[in-house]
Amino acid sequence: MSKQIKKNVKMIDVGGKKITKRIAVAEAFINLSTSTKEKIYKNKIIKGDVISVAKTAGILGAKKTSDTIPLCHQIPLNSVEIEILNKPQGLLILSKCNSLAKTGVEMEALVAVSITALTIYDMCKSFDKSIEITKIRLLSKKGGKSGDYKR
């Protein structure tokens, strides 16, 4: 190309990087009333099994990260695990993603917990207007040139 390309937006070139094992763990918290949690765990939500649907949505979200976030690379996911823990003030959502890739899986793990939380919100919003999603954050990552990270 003879003309300069203006670089106000660009996808990082990972072509020269080595494929390594990458693991990332993220969390989100969704504040729910006690009565909403009871409805979830007694399967009294009209839209269906909240936990199963939310976990499935989170896995699908992780798989579609590069379709949603413009500058993320498509990476092959070896696994996506989602755990939803019942806590006094709501539900703690954890995701763990791993891949053999040239770039990390942090965004996939963060998207997984975000979509899981949004699905719970969607399924419960008709009777609980006070639902709040908080603490979406990376807990740890392993692999890659920048090294390991743990919150």
Quick check: 71 and 11 in contact, CB under 8 A? yes
Closest by CA position to 23, among listed 61, 62, 56: 62
Catalytic residue positions, numbered: 122
The number of beta carbons lying within 10 Å of the beta carbon of residue 151 is: 10
State the Cα–Cα distance between residues 115 and 122, nearest whole angstrom: 10
Stated length of the chain: 151
**Residue 126, φ and ψ in degrees, nearest 5:** -70, -25
Closest by CA position to 69, among listed 18, 112, 35: 112
